[in-house]
């Protein structure tokens, strides 16, 4: 896989050594067990896969190279580069300005742009309407488009099944940049609707089966279907694609449910289901799958708690938190400074969208066993920072250099 030139401030010698060792020992990526960092009175179990994915590294490399190679030019980001505050702040400190916030609200009017300005398209991609608007202003976006190739793969798959007469069901968060972009690209070719979870897929199923009147459809899915969507006609042949950062298991559950529904409703079997349902399993992102599988495997560890590191508005990170919460007290933080002391931690409750402080978060026992992972937009340097902070609390930071040497040798 291509190697990217990511700024050194995001790198970690310790994490790099751990990842290289695991890669050498498990080239086919079949071993999803966590890596043990044994500090004696503290044991950290680090997920097999975590941190920057291909799409994020590609976006970061393009963005920082663009800044370095274009001194004196005005450089704008369409919206957040990725969902990590540290990366976005670093770019802003270099003079990059945001045109929109993460929800698509305008911060700087497009009309203020000039032909020779640079506009970077973020890793999530953007809508066809925004692409067209920028091009009409004379902005050249092709060279500075950092859209993740796995997001583009979803768009291409949507276009393929659209050409065969299928409507598209997008599993995603309706307000998320990537889902807005995928919806736009899909809706240009075929009737498209967004569902955020299995419950909404069940509601959609009621319209397919005729259990709910088609006149109720537009209120039930207001703002999440393409113009002119006709539930009586457009739900007869469907395929499911996803926002690549959703829980892969959730996307599969939605696809399995809708596939079985179509089989039962139309009296089809596995051999002729394609008459009504398109196979789109190949749109699931490899990095999302790997990170989520690594966490699921890590949950078999006899640990005391879990710490998940990443941006609070990061979809893929919040899903890792969801997985960890199924079994352990879980703390979602965006950097080591949120570990306030040996007793207190400030963390994000993504269910309520607020930061809270938990006291006595570390159990009074030895050794304390902690699971650690991070989202796909989280720099490895932040993960090492959390490990160092915990090691300091347990007065074991003197062992970090020894651990680094051990992983570099093996």
How much is the pLDDT for 281? Answer: 72
Instruction: Please say which residue of 262, 283, 304 terminates a domain.
Output: 283
Q: What is the CATH number of the domain that holds 332?
A: 3.40.1010.20
Residue 391 lies in a domain: yes
Decide if 303 contacts 359 (C-beta within 8 A). Answer: no
The answer to whether 80 and 96 are in contact (CB under 8 A) is: no
**Structural domain includes residue 150:** no
Same domain, yes or no: 167 and 233: yes
- Say what the pLDDT of residue 80 is: 86
Q: Are residues 171 and 106 in the same domain?
A: no
3-state secondary structure of 20: helix
pLDDT at 324: 98
* CATH code of the domain covering residue 225: 3.40.1010
Question: Rounded to 5 degrees, what are φ and ψ at 141?
Answer: -100, -15
Residue 33 DSSP symbol: P
CB-based contact 195:141 (threshold 8 Å): no
Structure confidence at residue 305 (pLDDT): 98
Contacts of 334 (CB under 8 A, 6+ apart): 84, 85, 86, 309, 310, 311, 312, 348, 382
Residue 248 has what pLDDT? 85
Same domain, 164 and 278: yes
Same domain for 215 and 132: no
Q: Which of 267, 283, 299 finishes a domain?
A: 283
CATH number of 121's domain: 3.40.50.11270
Closest CA to 11 of 384, 287, 359: 384
pLDDT reported for residue 1: 59
Task: Write out pLDDT tens, residues 140-176.
Answer: 999 899 999 999 999 999 999 999 999 999 999 999 9
Residue 164 within a domain = yes
> 188 and 250, same structural domain?
yes
Say if residue 278 is in the same domain as residue 309.
no
- Is the residue at 85 inside a domain? yes
Phi/psi class of residue 165: alpha, beta or left (left: φ > 0; alpha: ψ in -120 to 50)?
left
In a domain, 1, yes or no: no
| Beta strand extents in 130-286 (DSSP E only) | 167-171, 192-195, 238-242, 277-278
CB contact set of 25 (below 8 Å; sequence gap of 6+): 31
Pair 177, 122: CB distance under 8 Å: yes
Q: How many domains does the chain have?
A: 3
Contact between 389 and 375 (Cβ < 8 Å): no
What pTM does this model have? 0.90
Task: Show pLDDT as tens, one digit a residue, over the chain (410 residues).
Answer: 577 888 989 999 999 999 999 999 999 989 999 999 999 999 999 999 999 989 899 999 999 999 999 999 999 999 988 888 889 999 999 999 999 998 899 999 999 999 999 999 999 999 999 999 999 999 999 989 999 999 999 999 999 999 999 999 999 999 999 999 999 999 999 999 999 999 999 999 999 999 999 999 999 999 999 999 999 999 999 999 999 989 888 999 999 999 999 999 999 999 999 999 998 876 767 888 899 999 999 999 999 999 999 999 998 999 999 999 999 999 999 999 999 999 999 999 999 999 999 999 999 999 999 999 999 999 999 999 999 999 999 999 899 999 999 998 86
Strand order in the sheet with 97-98: 97-98, 75-77, 118-120
- 172 and 248 both lie in a single domain: yes
Residue 242's SS3 state is: strand
Q: Which helix (H) or strand (E) holds 76?
A: strand 75-77
Are 212 and 307 part of one and the same domain? no
* 2 within domain boundaries: no
User: Cα–Cα distance between 14 and 145 in angstroms, integer?
Assistant: 32
CA angle 1, 22, 410 (to 5 degrees): 120
| Signed CA dihedral, 211, 216, 222, 228: sign only | positive
Q: Coil, helix or strand for 193?
A: strand
Q: Which residues are catalytic?
A: 178
| CA separation for the pair 365, 301 (Å, rounded) | 17
Cα dihedral across residues 15, 21, 27, 31: positive or negative: negative
- Domain assignment present for 152: no
**Looking at the domain assignment, is residue 26 inside a domain?**
yes
Q: Which tokens hold the place of 385?
A: 């920072």
Among the listed residues 304, 360, 349, the one whose alpha carbon sits nearest the alpha carbon of residue 329: 304
325 and 363 in a common domain: yes
Are both 232 and 336 inside the same structural domain?
no
Whole-angstrom Cα distance, residue 120 to residue 386? Answer: 31
Q: 254, 283, 312 — which closes off a domain?
A: 283
User: Does residue 292 share a domain with residue 271?
Assistant: no
Which residues neighbour 105 within 8 Å (Cβ) at sequence distance 6 or greater? none
- Exposed e or buried b for every residue in 62-98, given b needs 16+ CB within 10 A? bbbebbeeeeeeebbbbbbbbbbbbbbebbeeeebeb
Q: What is the domain extent for residue 363?
A: 8-53+287-409
Is the domain of 194 the same as that of 265?
Answer: yes
């Amino acid at each position: 896989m291509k190697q990217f030139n990511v700024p050194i401030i995001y790198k970690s010698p310790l994490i790099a050594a751990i990842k290289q060792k695991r890669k050498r020992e498990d080239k086919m990526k079949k071993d999803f067990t966590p890596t043990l960092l044994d500090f004696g009175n503290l044991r950290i179990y680090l997920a097999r896969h975590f941190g920057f994915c291909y799409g994020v590294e590609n976006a970061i490399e393009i963005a920082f190279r663009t800044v370095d190679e274009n001194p004196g030019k005005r450089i704008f980001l369409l919206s957040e580069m990725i969902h990590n505050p540290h990366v976005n702040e670093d770019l802003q400190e270099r003079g990059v300005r945001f045109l929109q916030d993460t929800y698509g609200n305008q911060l700087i009017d497009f009309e203020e742009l000039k032909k020779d300005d640079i506009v970077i398209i973020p890793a999530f991609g953007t809508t066809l309407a925004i692409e067209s608007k920028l091009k009409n202003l004379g902005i050249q976006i092709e060279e500075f488009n950092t859209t993740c190739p796995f997001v583009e793969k979803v768009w291409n798959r949507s276009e393929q099944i659209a050409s065969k007469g299928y409507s598209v069901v997008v599993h995603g968060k309706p307000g998320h940049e990537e889902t807005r972009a995928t919806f736009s690209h899909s809706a240009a070719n075929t009737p498209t609707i967004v569902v955020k979870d299995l419950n909404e897929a069940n509601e959609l199923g009621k319209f397919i089966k005729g259990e709910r009147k088609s006149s109720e459809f537009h209120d039930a899915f207001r703002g999440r279907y393409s113009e002119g969507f006709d539930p009586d006609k457009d739900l007869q042949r469907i395929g499911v694609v996803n926002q690549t950062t959703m829980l892969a298991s959730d996307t599969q559950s939605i696809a399995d449910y809708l596939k079985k529904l179509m089989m039962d409703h139309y009296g089809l079997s596995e051999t002729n289901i394609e008459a009504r349902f398109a196979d789109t399993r190949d749109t699931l992102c490899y990095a999302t799958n790997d990170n989520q599988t690594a966490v699921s495997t890590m949950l078999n560890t006899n640990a005391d708690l879990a710490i998940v590191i990443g941006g609070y508005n990061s979809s893929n990170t919040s899903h890792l938190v969801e997985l960890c919460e199924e079994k352990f007290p879980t703390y979602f933080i965006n950097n080591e400074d949120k570990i306030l002391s040996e007793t207190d931690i400030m963390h994000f409750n993504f269910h309520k969208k607020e930061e809270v402080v938990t006291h006595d978060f570390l159990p009074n026992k030895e050794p304390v066993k902690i699971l650690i992972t991070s989202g796909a937009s989280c720099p490895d340097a932040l993960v090492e920072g959390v490990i160092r902070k915990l090691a300091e609390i347990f007065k074991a930071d003197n062992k970090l250099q020894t651990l680094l040497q051990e992983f570099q040798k093996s």
